[in-house]
């Protein structure tokens, strides 16, 4: 027989057993729809994460007071609590690190929340004091108007886009004055929108911020930021920083550490691994649906063989070979998978459109914030091929048993 004959006879079997076939197909539709929908969600999340990582400065290392092994990026057994004290980071720490190779810039930051008044309206906002000498070289923030901080600045501020236009009734522009803790501060720059907490933050020279933030003290920092000359130097420099600070702070035992060292690069790698693991986990759950669908196809094919035993005997009596019977049933099971795959792709696309409506912002466009869905044609092709493959595999055993039936036994079957 020709392949076209196998296809025609397989299609006839599918058409003439409508209810059973469609019940089987539904199982494949759910399985493929789940896999395709989840993988499209995973792809969108990966794209969003990569987009965010591309905007990050992966050469940054941050030193913070306090230490727990669970939060450390350095080698060692995780989940064990070390020491955490109220130790402070000071100018002495910066001075100790200045001699390390690989450091391009280093600066201490302070932060806090203060009352900020503009146009007779009051709001409590986050204020970060940075070193204006190096901040513009260390930050990835960009201004939409005005400028970043300059070395000679003191009581000036660069504000987030949310502070400029989302908090007060009147929009704040460049060169307008806000009042921070009773002190007039001139706005010299407005940052581009980021979509995070930074949009509601204010950045000031650290000399001015020390005088405005409660509990701030000159020469004492909430964190120290280091920018390396190259991303490749981050891991080695982190170890050097830990060793240097352990010596300069007279710390001998690891459990006595009172500072933490984290890197943007390590955080980015952790987020990427977490996203991949979550996609894999959800995909495995969806694969269970496919397994159920495969069992359904096999069950339908076995039933079909029993129903068509006499027909198989007649076909063999007039010259059909074992291979012909095998191919007819395999084409039938493949078509069940094909129809289930097409409908499953449609279901997966529909499910993907629902994710943004359910509040999964990862599915939204990275830059535009629109509800554009990431749905790749190759993912749909994968779903289709997977469905056909499952159909063929599920039909192998029933088709083989049908092909091995003896004509006499088949014709006598009741």
Cα 411 from chain centre:
60
Structural domain that includes position 170:
106-229
pTM for the whole structure? 0.64
Based on the fold, state whether residues 296 and 399 are members of the same structural domain: yes
Q: Is 198 inside any structural domain? A: yes
Q: Is 101 inside any structural domain? A: no
Decide if pLDDT at 315 tops 90: no
Whole-angstrom Cα Rg for the chain: 33
Based on the fold, state whether residues 285 and 215 are members of the same structural domain: no
Based on the fold, state whether residues 407 and 307 are members of the same structural domain: yes
Cα 16 from chain centre:
46
Take residue 262 and report the two structure tokens written for it: 């984290």
Based on the fold, state whether residues 274 and 408 are members of the same structural domain: yes
**Domain termination site, one of 229, 256, 280:** 229
Where b means 16+ CB within 10 Å and e means fewer, 191-200 reads bebbeeebbb
Q: Is 360 inside any structural domain? A: yes
**pLDDT bracket for residue 48 (50, 70, 90):** confident
Decide if pLDDT at 12 tops 60: yes
Q: Which residues pair with 117 in a beta bridge?
A: 122, 179
Take residue 192 and report the two structure tokens written for it: 């581009």
**Domain termination site, one of 197, 229, 261:** 229
Based on the fold, state whether residues 345 and 402 are members of the same structural domain: yes
**pLDDT bracket for residue 111 (50, 70, 90):** very high
Q: Is 170 inside any structural domain? A: yes
How far lies 144's CA from each of 139, 149, 301, 327, in Å? 15, 14, 65, 66
Based on the fold, state whether residues 173 and 47 are members of the same structural domain: no
Based on the fold, state whether residues 125 and 211 are members of the same structural domain: yes
**pLDDT bracket for residue 413 (50, 70, 90):** low
Q: Note whether 201 and 139 are within 8 A (CB).
A: no
- Count up the domains in the chain and report the number: 2
Phi first, then psi: give them for residue 80, nearest 5 degrees: -105, 135
Cα 245 from Cα 247, distance rounded (Å) = 5
Q: Is 334 inside any structural domain? A: yes
Based on the fold, state whether residues 191 and 294 are members of the same structural domain: no
pLDDT for the residue 326: 85
Average pLDDT, the chain: 81
């Amino acid at each position: 027989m020709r392949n076209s004959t196998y296809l025609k006879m397989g299609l006839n079997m599918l058409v003439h057993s409508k209810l059973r076939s469609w019940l089987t197909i539904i199982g494949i539709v759910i399985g493929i729809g789940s896999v395709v929908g989840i993988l499209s969600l995973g792809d969108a999340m990966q794209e969003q994460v990569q987009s965010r990582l591309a905007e990050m400065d992966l050469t940054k290392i941050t030193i913070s007071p306090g230490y727990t092994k669970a939060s450390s990026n350095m080698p060692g057994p995780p989940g064990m609590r070390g020491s955490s004290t109220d130790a402070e980071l000071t100018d002495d720490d910066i001075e100790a690190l200045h001699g390390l190779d690989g450091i391009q810039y280093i600066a201490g930051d302070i932060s806090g929340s203060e009352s900020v008044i503009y146009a007779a309206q009051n709001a409590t906002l986050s204020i970060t004091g940075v070193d204006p000498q190096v901040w513009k070289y260390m930050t990835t923030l960009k201004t939409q108007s005005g400028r970043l901080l300059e070395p000679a600045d003191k009581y000036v501020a660069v504000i987030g886009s949310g502070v400029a236009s989302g908090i007060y009734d009147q929009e704040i522009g460049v060169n307008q004055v806000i009042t921070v803790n009773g002190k007039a501060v001139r706005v010299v720059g407005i940052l581009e929108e980021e979509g995070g907490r930074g949009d509601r933050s204010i950045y000031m020279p650290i000399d001015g911020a020390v005088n405005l933030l409660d509990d701030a003290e000159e020469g004492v920092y909430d964190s120290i930021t280091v920018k390396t000359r190259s991303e490749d130097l981050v891991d080695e420099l982190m170890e050097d920083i830990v060793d240097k600070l352990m010596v300069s702070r007279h710390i001998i035992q690891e459990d006595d550490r009172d500072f933490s060292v984290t890197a943007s690069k390590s955080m980015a790698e952790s987020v990427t691994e977490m996203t991949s693991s979550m996609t894999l986990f959800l995909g495995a759950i969806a694969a269970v649906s496919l397994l159920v669908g495969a069992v359904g196809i096999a069950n339908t094919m076995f039933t079909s063989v029993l129903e068509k035993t006499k027909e198989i005997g007649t076909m063999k009596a007039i010259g059909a070979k074992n291979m012909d019977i095998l191919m007819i049933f395999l084409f039938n099971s493949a078509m069940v998978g094909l129809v289930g795959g097409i409908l499953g792709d449609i279901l997966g696309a529909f499910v993907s459109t629902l994710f943004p409506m359910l509040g999964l912002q990862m599915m939204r466009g990275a830059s535009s914030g629109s509800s554009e869905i990431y749905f790749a044609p190759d993912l749909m092709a994968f779903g289709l091929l997977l469905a056909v493959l499952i159909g063929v595999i599920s039909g192998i055993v029933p088709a083989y048993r049908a092909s091995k039936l003896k004509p006499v036994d088949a014709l006598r079957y009741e």
